[in-house]
Structure 1
Amino acid sequence: MHNQDYPIARRKQESRVVSLKIVQIIPALDAGGAERTVVEITGAVVAAGGQALIISAGGRLEEEIRALGGEIVHLPVDSKNPYVMWRNANRIASIAREFGADLLHARSRAPAWSTRAASKQIDLPFITTYHGTYRTGGVLKRRYNAIMASGDAVIANSGFIARRIISQHGIADDRITIIPRGVPPLYFEVPEAVTSPAQFLLDHGLPKDRPVDEPLIVLPGRLTRGKGQEIAIEALAQLHSQNDKAHLVLAGDSQGRKRYVKGLHQQIARAKIADYVHFCGHVQDMAALYACADIVLSASTVPEAFGRIAVESQASARMIVASAHGGALETITNEQTGFHFEPANAADLAAVLKKVMMLDTAPHKQMRLAGRKHVRAHYSREAMCVKTLGVYRDLISPHEGR
């Protein structure tokens, strides 16, 4: 990936004497929607003539960030230890001062507490992106979550999240900017031109020569209960009990959740579908993964703040089936660009999957192309980057005048 991948950010940059110097703070740089957005905003800032620095505990996305021209400083901002968070505040302030930062952008709760303290030390604008639904509990939990609504500007990645911020934290809606995540141009390419699906299946040990009436259902996402792998396996078992065979690919890291993964294997063994469920670990080339899929599944049992899978799969002209809550209610038009099912309901998921499997070729293709058109119109990466840089400039301009 190179800076030429961000043409709109370059075209629409404003003429300024001093370029943007943006610091983003995020716990880790492995897989996830927030992490991917950090990479994309880094590319946009650099393409617009600015400088981008990321403070993080690190991860597999570092190489991509450096290739885009971003800088990385390692700090334990993934820690929730109060002492470590306090030390991080002083370190972030020092790093930002040395970098000559214009603005600090926090993307998770623990580092946001440190970042706000740092911003006060060095008198810089502080911005947050509310990336998650964040479970609520008692007073302390609500107070902890509230940091994400305390920025000088607050970005919500969906209307669902914007409404949640207002209802839970009582802030004025004019402090919130809704900027949906965007899809890179790569996903709009003809999938077969990106990577050979046959080669991808072979490289990842997935079923290449299966019968045409056994579709490949792909569920991307880290292996954790909230992503709904258990529901998907149960739905697959129900389909097989009706002699409607399909294959399920679970694409994501376990991130050390050995007990949960063991439970999944036990569930698969009990259902006697071991030959039809495939674990392929973390997948870097998501466009190739989508190209292999007949159906893409997002089975989250808790509402997704946005849900990148839903838009990426539609952009790739793949059929999407998703839980009917959270961001998916905005990004998927039910039975027009994809399908919804009742969250955490394996029987309803099985029924919807069967409905999709029985679609004739023409309406199936029409729906997939409608999904691509929908995403191209509303969820481009270029639009996301331009809007985010606009928020940065709106905050920095009056601050520079003080």
Structure 2
Amino acid sequence: MPQPPAVLQVLPALISGGVERGTIEIAQALHEAGFRALVASAGGPMVAELEAVGARHVTLPLDRKSPLALWRNSRALAGLVAAEGIAILHARSRFPGWSALRAARRSGARFVTTFHGVYSEDLPGKRLYNSVMVRGDRVIAISEHVAAVIRDRYALGLDRLRIIPRGVDTVAFDPDAVSPERLEDLRTDWKLPSGRPVVMLPARLTRWKGAAVLLQALAQLRPTPPFAVLLGEGGFRAELESEVAALGLEADVALPGVCRDMPAALLLADLVVHASTKPEPFGRTVIEAQAMLRPVIASDLGAPRETVEEGVTGWRVPPGDAAALAAAIRRALDLPPDARAALGRQARDAVLRRYTTAAMQAATLDVYRELL
């Protein structure tokens, strides 16, 4: 009997992050739909999770960046395509994408790419380097914002471009599925003060994610600022801790690091903030918060313009404007609880209609079926 069609996803490694998470979600959908799901990468702690959903991992040094590595990886991928009868190569990153493109052209396999971000062009030759991501038989953009950048830079036609937003697992991110014990564990670990509203910024602690803007907004909300939880890790942490001390916000801010129970964390928040000062390609934490019935205040740029509807599922403010953010936080927290709850319900309804993992998986499988 002929084997079912095989799809090989290619990325640098399986350590952590949204690209890796999306790879596993698509591998799971492939397996459940009767395809053979393979992933090639340099490996990492998420390999076990990938194999648990029924996919096969092939270890290749796809995290290395050199002309020799590109050539060797392209040969290895072409050999894998021939040995496994792979019909589609799906590249999720630029340097491994060049190896995958060369392997696809040598073998006759179809080539798919996903733009997970908006790549900079600040160095000579960068546009050419980035262009591998528009050389697919199909090119997937993770938001309307990313698609607009692709069309502007590369004049890519609608015959090859597909917009597939990222999704949230609405089973895991379900308010009714979070037990009181999970909430109490986090509340205790973080030493949340009782009787104070909680504003949460779930993001890597990097400068452009806007945590410093939120701190400045809190300082403007004295004498009764809400309690802020800056959830995440990153190289900007020490600078943020210094800023907290300089602003006298030690009793008003917690930096608990990475949280392994994001549904419970978001449910502890009265309000979730997205404060990025650069355009976000998508911003999955926004839809995760909305899935947990939490309205979001988001920077008015990038993909959150698509996921946060002003006054309906949340609010948008100018990026980097601490005064505007402070005013929006105050307005949101001054709303009657039932009005804020209504916004949260509308936010979850919007996620269920447009931004689920199941919808993302189905749309991606449709792209594969087009090419088969």
TM-score (norm 1): 0.87
Q: Is residue 238 of structure 1 aligned with residue 223 of structure 2?
A: no
CA contact (8 A) 2:175 2:267 kept: no
Q: Distance in 1 between matches of 2:159 and 2:254?
A: 46
Displacement after TM superposition at 1:138 (Å) = 4.5
Q: Which residue identity lines up with residue 385 of structure 1 in the other structure?
A: Q
Q: Take 1:282 and 1:74, find their aligned partners in 2: how far apart are those partners?
A: 28
Measure how far apart 1:17 and its partner are: 6.2
- Which residue is equivalent to 1:107? 92
- 1:118 deviates by 1.6
> Which residue in 2 is equivalent to 1:247?
227
CA distance in 1, matches of 2:332, 2:17: 27
Instruction: Letter of the 1:351 partner, please give it.
Output: A
Deviation at 1:195, TM superposition (A): 6.3
Residue deviations 1:289-320, cap 9 Å, x none? 21222222221111111111111111110121
Answer whether contact 1:191 1:291 (CA < 8 A) is retained.
no
1:336 shift after superposition: 0.7
The aligned residue for residue 279 of structure 1 is 255
Residue equivalent to 2:55: 70
User: Structure 1 residues 336, 122: closer, same or farther in 2, change over 3 A?
Assistant: same
Partner of 1:227: 209
Q: Which residue of 2 aligns with 1:211?
A: 194
Q: Following TM superposition, where does structure 1 have runs of at least 4 consecutive aligned residues deviating by more than 6 angstroms?
A: none
Q: 1:195 to 1:380 in 2, by over 3 A?
A: farther
How big is the shift at 1:48? 0.8
**Contact map agreement 2:170 2:352 (CA 8 A) in 1:** no
**Where does 1:2-401 land on structure 2 (aligned, <5 Å)?**
18-186=3-171, 187-190=173-176, 192-193=178-179, 196-202=182-188, 205-208=189-192, 210-212=193-195, 214-239=196-221, 242-254=222-234, 257=235, 260-396=236-372
Q: Deviations over 1:36-65 (max 9, x none)?
A: 211211110111122212222333322321
The whole-number CA distance in structure 1 between the counterparts of 2:194 and 2:187 is 15
Distance 1:273 1:96, change over 3 A: farther
Shift in alpha-carbon separation, 1:228–1:191, aligned structure 2, 3 A = farther
Secondary structure of residue in 2 paired with 1:385: helix
The 3 A distance-change label for structure 1 pair 168 and 55 is: same
Give the aligned partner of residue 11 of structure 1: none
Cα deviations across residues 333-372 of structure 1 (Å, max 9, x unaligned)?
0111011111122221121111111111121011000111
For residues 59 and 283 of structure 2, the distance between their equivalents in structure 1, rounded to whole angstroms, comes to 28
Report the RMSD for the aligned CA atoms in angstroms. Answer: 2.0
Task: Please tell me whether the aligned partners of residues 244 and 354 of structure 1 are also in contact (alpha carbons under 8 angstroms).
Answer: no
Matches of 1:292 and 1:192, distance apart in 2: 11
Distance 1:123 1:238 in 2: 60
Secondary structure of the 1:288 match is: helix
> Aligned in 2, Cα 1:298/1:112: closer, same or farther, shift over 3 Å?
same
Letter in 2 for 1:171: L
- In 2, Cα distance between equivalents of 1:215 and 1:31: 31
| Structure 1 alignment gaps of length 5 or more | 1-15, 397-402
8 Å contact from structure 1 (residues 196, 288) kept in 2: yes
* 276 and 56 in structure 1: CA distance in 2 versus 1, 3 angstrom threshold: farther
The residue type paired with residue 191 of structure 2 is P
TM-score by length of 2: 0.93
Q: Aligned partners of 1:358 and 1:217: how far apart in 2?
A: 13
Deviation at 1:245, TM superposition (A): 2.0
Q: Identity percentage over the alignment?
A: 36
Q: Judge which range, 219-228 or 163-172, deviates more.
A: 219-228
Q: Distance in 2 between matches of 1:307 and 1:99?
A: 35
Secondary structure of the 1:185 match is: coil
Deviations 1:50-85 (A, max 9, x none): 221222233332232121112222333233333323
Question: CA shift at 1:113, angstroms?
Answer: 1.4
Q: Would you say the 8 A contact 1:194–1:287 is kept in 2?
A: no
The number of residue pairs the alignment matches comes to: 371
Does the Cα contact within 8 Å between 2:39 and 2:56 map onto a contact in 1?
Answer: yes
What SS is found at the alignment partner of 2:371? helix
Q: Which runs of 5+ in 2 are unaligned?
A: none
